[in-house]
Structure formats: structure tokens, C-alpha cells
Amino acid sequence: MKLYNSLTKKVEEFVPNVEGKVGMYTCGPTVYHFAHIGNLRSYLCEDVLEKLLRYCGYDVKRVMNITDVGHLSSDADTGEDKMLKGAKREHKTVMEIAKFYTDAFFADCAKLNIKTPDVVEPATNCIDEFIHMIAVLLEKGYAYKAGENIYFDTSKLDSYYVFGNQNEDELMVGVRDDVTEDENKRNKNDFVLWFTKSKFEDQALKWDSPWGVGYPGWHIECSCISMKHLGEYMDIHCGGVDNMFPHHTNEIAQSESYLGHKWCNYWFHVHHLNDETGKMSKSKGEFLTVSLLEEKGYDPIVYRLFALQSHYRKPLVFSYEALDQAATTYKKLKNRIASIHEDGAVDDAAVKEWHDRFAETVGNDVNTAMGITLVYDVIKSDLNGATKRAVINDFDYVLGLKLLEAPAGGDSADNAEDPELAAHVEEMIAKRAAAKKEKNFALADEIRAKLLEEGIELKDTREGVVWSRL
């Protein structure tokens, strides 16, 4: 397998620390709000990477943290605590907010067919580990106490800007009007390991530490949680490009200072989802969530296809027109697959051959678009039906597009089996549409209810009404 490594800025042959095994870490969500589909693009691409590694025969252990403490509005230790902000907004406790949005995050992931990592660890579970690492950093001289907080001293490192593309001027902390520079810092990029003197009087979560009652900084949690479950040597660390600085830069600084050796070999970064005006931000326009897409009639898997049609290292431009195109592509593709009859016996040698081709093609820096092209190649090939379906099923382990599940709606192979029923349902759908047009919503609802009694469920989607048997 080949992977682009943000550390070396090159596509490299992937060689794990231990043959056949991969330790993989993903920065998890800060659970103060619903996940934006832009953030979910990262988790989606990371899910493909994990499944691809398994597809290529690796034994993968994947770990993800849940940030439920310590992440401030700015990644550089300024602004309000995100969790507290969420709690205030909803008049709930921080832990209630954490529980609610953690569940919401995994529900969204499930809808996008994103596998839950092997280990999911909330930051608040690991306070002892954080304290231990901070104590070692202090002992080794990489940290200092100032203004009753503990800071990491970036001047102690030979090279701090490990990803190499940060422009120091642009990264000046305090340049934004609403952000004040922390005067306790000796160097502008120093970062907080432990807040002892809380900036927020009503900080909800506090713990005892050798330096007084307080709470951890954000960056320390990923270093500790990954080492707790993956040991001192990690193969792949994942995240969005916006995590590169300061978060991942700080993770490397503190981890390698603590360990005294190199920590993680490969850094996998997924690029932004943008709208047509540039970076997609939560503050302007509608807040794009999986639920919102569903409300608008999209199957969340359509978003997965949309994301997989482009390369993870390129910014992806979101628009409803583009998503509509993906929806049409998805529907057509599913229908084509549904029409493949399961004739003949599965040709195992052919399945293996296509498996290897997929592993090599998609394994070239997670080229998901080429993986989708291979599905069409299989459909067009002269393999028998049973083998085609077996190969597509094999690919779909990685793609996760539910390609073999019967398409919902009147044109599925299943519904086509009963033309009389299909004609009846189509007639009722037409009557309901007419009723809606005349704003006779009572009649429209009545028709839907009647069909439901007959065991037929209607779904309004952007592509029109689809039906399925219950």
C-alpha cells in the first residue's frame, strides 16, 4: 500500500512497525454540537483507510478519543471552552452535553456506514494519564509553570514546525481582535498542558493535580490516549488538515519529548469540504448535518458516494447540485447492480484477481474514485452474474456504499416481480401527488396511510416518491 505522508510530503510505501499489524489513531470529535458534514468527510475517509488496510490483510487496531473537556474555541488555547459553551446554550450540564452529542456523532457515523473504532476513549477517562505525562515533561524540562498554568516550552525543541508549511507570521496568536494573547507564555507557540488557574470561573469539570485543581489542555489528550492503547510507536495518525497546526504539531512536540524517540510514522490528513464561496463555516448559511440532508430527502450514503468520488487530499466543493448528481449516480448504479442475475457459480479465482486489482488501485494513496470506476468495470466485464456480485460485494467492504442492498423504491428488482402491485402503488402515488398539488393534504395523508395498511411505505426523496414493502 502507498500512502501520502504529511511529514515527508511524499507518497510512500506503507511499512508498519510490526509486520502485518497497524496501530491507527484518529482525533475524535469535540462533543459540544452536531457534527458538520465537513468534519464527517474526515471520518469517512479515515473509515475507508481503515477498511482498506484490513482489505489488504493488515490486523488493524484503531483508537479514537472523544474530546469532552479542554478544547477552547480557538485551537490555540484562547476563547471559551467549547463544552461549556454547548452546556450554556442548552441549559444542560457538560456531561449531559457530552453524552448527547457523542451519541449523535456515532448515529451520524452509522448512517454514513462509518465503522466505530476498536477503542473509543473520552478524555475525561484519562486524567491520571494526562497528569503523568505532564509531570514527566516538567521533570525533563520541556514544560514550565506560569500564571498557575502548566505550559509546554516549544523553545526546547530543535524543530517545532514538523509539517513544515506553517507561516509563522500568519500563525501569530493574538492577531484576531477577539483573541487576547496569553501573557504567561514564554514563546508564542507554547501551549497549555494543564489549566490550573481556570480562566472560566464556572468551569464545570475540575480535577486534583500536583499543581492544583484544574483541567487538561486539549492537545495532551491525543498523545496520552493513543499511547495508552497503541503503545510508544504508532503507525498512522489521522485527522483533518485543520488539525495539522497547532493540534498535531503540538501532539508530536509533547509525545516525542516525553518518549525521547520518534512517535508516529505516517500522518494522514483529509482536506476541507468547501462551499462554492470558499471554506465552509458553521457561522454562515445553514449548518449542514446528516439529519439536514435526510430532511431534504437524501440517503446519507449518497453523501458517502459524493465524498468517495473525489480524492481525500483535494478540497471538495459541496453544493446541492453536486449532491443531486451523486444521488442520480447512486440510484442508477444500484439499479444496474440489482439487475445482475445471480447466474452461474462464483469463480473464486476471478474474485481473487479483482480483489488484488482493487487493493493495488485503491491502495495507491486511497484512490476511492478509481475504486468506484472498478465497480463499473466489473459490471461491464464478461464475468457471470454470481461472480460479478461476489466481486462487488468484496469491493463494498471498503467502499461501504451498500451496493448489493436492494434499492428502495418502485424500480427495485423485488418490486418489479409483482407488476400488478407495482401498478396499484404507482396509481396511488399519482393520486397522492395530485391531491398534494391541490393542497388537499388530508387526502394525501389518507392515501399514504392506506398504503401503509397494505404494507407499503412511501418515502419522499429528491428524486421523487419511492416505495418499499414493509
* Binding site residues, Zn ion, CB under 5 A: 27, 222
- What are the residue ranges of helices labelled H in 169-299? 219-230, 249-259, 290-295
Other Cβ atoms less than 10 A from the Cβ of 176: the count is 11
Q: Which C-beta is closer to Zn ion: that of 85 or that of 247? A: 247
CB 238, CB 24: distance < 8 Å:
yes
State the pairing for strand pair 273-275/278-279. antiparallel
CB 112, CB 301: distance < 8 Å:
yes
CA 69 to each of CA 94, 102, 190, 307: distance values in angstroms, whole numbers, following the listed order: 9, 13, 20, 30
CA-closest candidate to residue 173, choices 156, 191, 196, 159: 191
Which three cell numbers, joined as nine digits, stand for 144?
A: 514550565
CB 148, CB 137: distance < 8 Å:
no
Beta-strand ranges (E) seen in 126-225 are: 143-146, 149-152, 191-195, 215-216
Q: How far is the CB of 269 from Zn ion (least distance, A)?
A: 12
Q: How far is the CB of 72 from Zn ion (least distance, A)?
A: 14
Q: How far is the CB of 150 from Zn ion (least distance, A)?
A: 19
Q: How far is the CB of 326 from Zn ion (least distance, A)?
A: 30
Contacts 24+ apart (CB under 8 A), 139-146: 140/257, 140/258, 142/254, 142/257, 142/258, 143/193, 144/186, 145/196, 145/211, 146/184, 146/185, 146/186
Q: Which C-beta is closer to Zn ion: that of 222 or that of 392? A: 222
Q: How far is the CB of 25 from Zn ion (least distance, A)?
A: 8
Q: Which C-beta is closer to Zn ion: that of 27 or that of 280? A: 27
CB 279, CB 318: distance < 8 Å:
no
Q: How far is the CB of 102 from Zn ion (least distance, A)?
A: 16
Q: Which C-beta is closer to Zn ion: that of 27 or that of 60? A: 27
Tell me the sheet residues that pair with 121. 65
Q: How far is the CB of 65 from Zn ion (least distance, A)?
A: 6
Q: Which C-beta is closer to Zn ion: that of 222 or that of 456? A: 222
Q: Which C-beta is closer to Zn ion: that of 4 or that of 218? A: 218
Q: How far is the CB of 288 from Zn ion (least distance, A)?
A: 23
Q: How far is the CB of 219 from Zn ion (least distance, A)?
A: 7
Q: How far is the CB of 321 from Zn ion (least distance, A)?
A: 34
CB 115, CB 47: distance < 8 Å:
yes
Q: Which C-beta is closer to Zn ion: that of 109 or that of 222? A: 222
CA-closest candidate to residue 84, choices 30, 29, 32: 32
CA-closest candidate to residue 400, choices 46, 106, 107: 46
Q: What residue type is 344 in one-letter code?
A: G
Q: How far is the CB of 40 from Zn ion (least distance, A)?
A: 16
Q: Which C-beta is closer to Zn ion: that of 64 or that of 340? A: 64
Q: Which C-beta is closer to Zn ion: that of 114 or that of 222? A: 222
Residues in the chain: 470
- What are the residue ranges of helices labelled H in 269-384? 290-295, 300-308, 320-338, 348-362, 368-380
Q: Which C-beta is closer to Zn ion: that of 27 or that of 120? A: 27
Which three cell numbers, joined as nine digits, stand for 283?
A: 457561522
Phi and psi dihedrals of 151, rounded to 5?
A: -115, 150
Contacts of 203 by beta carbon, 8 Å cutoff, 6+ apart: 81, 84, 195, 215
Q: How far is the CB of 237 from Zn ion (least distance, A)?
A: 8
Q: Which C-beta is closer to Zn ion: that of 25 or that of 395? A: 25
Q: Which C-beta is closer to Zn ion: that of 262 or that of 450? A: 262
